[in-house]
Amino acid sequence: MNDYFKDKEPTELKRRIFIAAVIVVAAFFILAVRFWYLQVKEATYYRELSQNNSVRLLKAVAPRGIVYDSQGLKVAENRAGFDLYVIPEDVKDWPKVKETLKKLIDLDPAEIDEKLRKAKGRPKCQAIALKEGLSWEETVKIESYKFELHGLMLDVSHKRSYLYGEDTAHLVGYLGEISEKELDDLDEGEKYG
């Protein structure tokens, strides 16, 4: 049987094996180049993308203590307050969300658009405050529609309550978000905080 193949070289078979080997080597070379491109050249971009996709920063403010005067009477305390936030990345239907919020808590769609415009450039997974200090009725309405309004989030925060009126706030002190004017007045490169 060995004598049969000696004078007949399977050139067609050799040619097909050679072409198949070239195709396999070329495919592995293309895959290796693509892996290098994704893992080395674009590593920073994809690392940031994955971190933004998996990490969601939530602001957690520590409650302030109860303030007593020299006779032991309460001057200021904390009460629960409800704030409404939106996570733009999770919203599936913006027109429906805006229309529903208009009906439920009389939140104007133009006001929502303005808050989103101001938050432009922030990660889409970061929560944006839509309305602070919701009433109990508004909170219940939002909570009732929670499963229909994807991307909305209620947050329970601590609000300061002054037992002798807001006039005593300047004696006890207050906390608040920095205004646009105060932010603009900061010198170039100066940090707030």
pLDDT of 174 > 80? The answer is: no
In tens, the pLDDT along 76-112 reads 888 888 999 988 888 888 888 888 888 888 888 888 8
In tens, the pLDDT along 103-139 reads 888 888 888 888 888 888 777 778 888 888 888 899 8
Q: Please, are residues 82 and 134 in contact by the beta-carbon 8 Å criterion?
A: yes
For the segment 8-26, the average pLDDT, to the nearest whole number, is 87
